[in-house]
């Protein structure tokens, strides 16, 4: 599925000529003018917010989403209609958007998105590996499929997403890569062994790639949000985990439980608050920040590290 594109960002030939150089600085220029960002899991939630935020700073956008459910995930995932809605929101900022259905577990599907993105825009400067799932189970009750799906999407999916775009970034000697981990990747978390393992894994992957690309114009960082106000957090399955004593817990019921998990006593963050950290890491002038983990965590780890 490709969305309609605006002409706001210039011709394909112009874009192809830019290579890895920073766009010319003109008065009123925005930080990401001339840049192109590829974001996974962007039908809704944080991915949508990142797409709109980076577009608002001047970038053209490539988005993908699975737009289908996964049997072991206890809530519905994004839809094709939501993916198209994200594309419309990006276009409303005046930037172009290429939107495609792709599963981050699928190497060929990701290669197709990157190829279509390069064909459309000529280059890709930014990669935000955001797509993810969650679920919960006591360690001893985790079955093989639930474990495998989690690792395949939340860890291997990040690897495959970055690998799909890395050769192009290496060739241009420019790249800003951000992987979305979680505060679950900074500590243990009962009932979430598979999610925690995947999110810790993302940080190891990020740090290693940052070392391999540090002298090649490419930065690689992780963002670790605390609870964020998205469908991943707000669904009946998650509510029941936090309020097992209630038959049908509501948003109001779970709010104090979520709030108790951080120092600020705030139940959840807005997706836009995570986008600010992503935007910072995607800017040209964040070139000195690589291999880092930025926690947007309401102080939840302040007493730990």
Ligand X SMILES: NC(=O)c1ccc[n+]([C@@H]2O[C@H](COP(=O)([O-])OP(=O)(O)OC[C@H]3O[C@@H](n4cnc5c(N)ncnc54)[C@H](O)[C@@H]3O)[C@@H](O)[C@H]2O)c1
Site for ligand X in 103-122 (CB under 6 A): 103-105
Query: Smaller CB distance to ligand X: residue 9 or 134?
Result: 134
Query: Smaller CB distance to ligand X: residue 81 or 247?
Result: 81
Q: Which of 58, 74, 78, 122 binds ligand X (CB under 6 A)?
A: 78
Q: Confirm or reject binding of residue 46 to ligand X (CB under 6 A).
A: yes
Q: Which of 65, 91, 125, 295 binds ligand X (CB under 6 A)?
A: 65
Q: Confirm or reject binding of residue 221 to ligand X (CB under 6 A).
A: no
Q: Confirm or reject binding of residue 201 to ligand X (CB under 6 A).
A: no
CB of 259 to ligand X, least distance (A): 13
Q: Confirm or reject binding of residue 295 to ligand X (CB under 6 A).
A: no
In the chain, what is the straight-line distance between the N-terminal and C-terminal CA atoms, in Å? 44
Q: Confirm or reject binding of residue 228 to ligand X (CB under 6 A).
A: yes
Query: Smaller CB distance to ligand X: residue 31 or 231?
Result: 231
Q: Confirm or reject binding of residue 72 to ligand X (CB under 6 A).
A: no
Q: What string of DSSP letters covers the chain?
A: ------STT--HHHHHTTTTSPPPP-TT--TTTT-EEEEES-SSHHHHHHHHHHHHTT-EEEEEE--S--TTSSS----HHHHHHHHHHHHHTT--EEEEE--TT-HHHHHHHHHHHHHHHS---EEEE-------B-GGG--HHHHHHHIIIIIIHHHHHHHHHHHHHHHHT-EEEEEE--GGGTS--TTBHHHHHHHHHHHHHHHHHHHHHTTTTEEEEEEEESSBSSTTTSSHHHHHHH-TTSSS--HHHHHHHHHTTSTT--S-B-HHHHHHHHHHHHSGGGTT--S-EEEESTTTTTTT-
Q: How far apart are CA 273 and CA 278, in angstroms?
A: 9
Taking residues 5 to 44 in sequence order and writing x for each that binds ligand X by CB under 6 A, - otherwise, the string is: -----------------------------------xx-xx
Query: Smaller CB distance to ligand X: residue 34 or 225?
Result: 225
Tell me which residues are annotated as active site. Answer: 195
Q: Confirm or reject binding of residue 53 to ligand X (CB under 6 A).
A: no
Q: Which of 74, 135, 157, 175 binds ligand X (CB under 6 A)?
A: 157
Block residue for tokens 């190497």: 107
Q: Which stretch binds ligand X (CB under 6 A): 45-53, 116-124, 169-177, 285-293?
A: 45-53
Residue 64 forms beta bridges with which residues? 40, 100
Q: Which of 90, 233, 277, 294 binds ligand X (CB under 6 A)?
A: 233
CB of 213 to ligand X, least distance (A): 22
Binding site for ligand X (CB under 6 A): 40-41, 43-47, 65-66, 77-78, 103-105, 130-134, 153, 157, 180, 182, 225, 227-228, 230-233
């Amino acid at each position: 599925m490709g969305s309609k594109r605006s002409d706001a960002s210039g011709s394909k030939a112009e874009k192809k000529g830019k290579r890895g150089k920073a766009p010319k600085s003109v008065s009123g220029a925005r930080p990401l003018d001339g840049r192109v960002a590829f974001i996974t899991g962007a039908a809704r939630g944080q991915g949508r917010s990142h797409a709109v935020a980076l577009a608002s700073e001047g970038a053209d956008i490539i988005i993908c989403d699975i737009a289908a459910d996964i049997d072991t995930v206890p809530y519905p995932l994004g839809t094709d209609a939501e993916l198209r809605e994200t594309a419309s929101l990006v276009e409303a900022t005046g930037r172009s958007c290429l939107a495609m259905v792709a599963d981050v577990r699928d190497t060929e599907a990701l290669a197709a998105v990157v190829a279509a993105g390069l064909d459309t825009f000529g280059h890709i400067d930014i990669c935000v590996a955001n797509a993810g799932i969650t679920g919960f189970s006591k360690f001893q009750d985790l079955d093989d499929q639930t474990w495998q799906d989690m690792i395949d999407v939340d860890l291997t999916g990040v690897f495959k997403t970055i690998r799909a775009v890395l050769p192009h970034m290496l060739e241009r000697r420019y790249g800003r890569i951000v992987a979305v981990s979680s505060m679950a990747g900074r500590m243990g978390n009962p009932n979430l062994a598979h999610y925690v393992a995947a999110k810790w894994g993302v940080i190891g992957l990020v740090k290693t790639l940052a070392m391999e690309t540090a002298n090649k114009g490419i930065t690689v960082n992780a963002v670790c949000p605390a609870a964020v106000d998205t469908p991943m957090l707000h669904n009946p399955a998650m509510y029941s985990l936090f309020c097992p004593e209630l038959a049908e817990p509501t948003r109001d019921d779970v709010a104090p439980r979520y709030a108790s998990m951080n120092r600020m006593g705030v139940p959840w963050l807005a997706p836009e608050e995570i986008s600010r950290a992503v935007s910072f890491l995607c800017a040209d002038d964040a070139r000195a920040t690589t291999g880092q983990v930025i926690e947007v965590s309401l102080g939840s780890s302040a007493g730990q590290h």
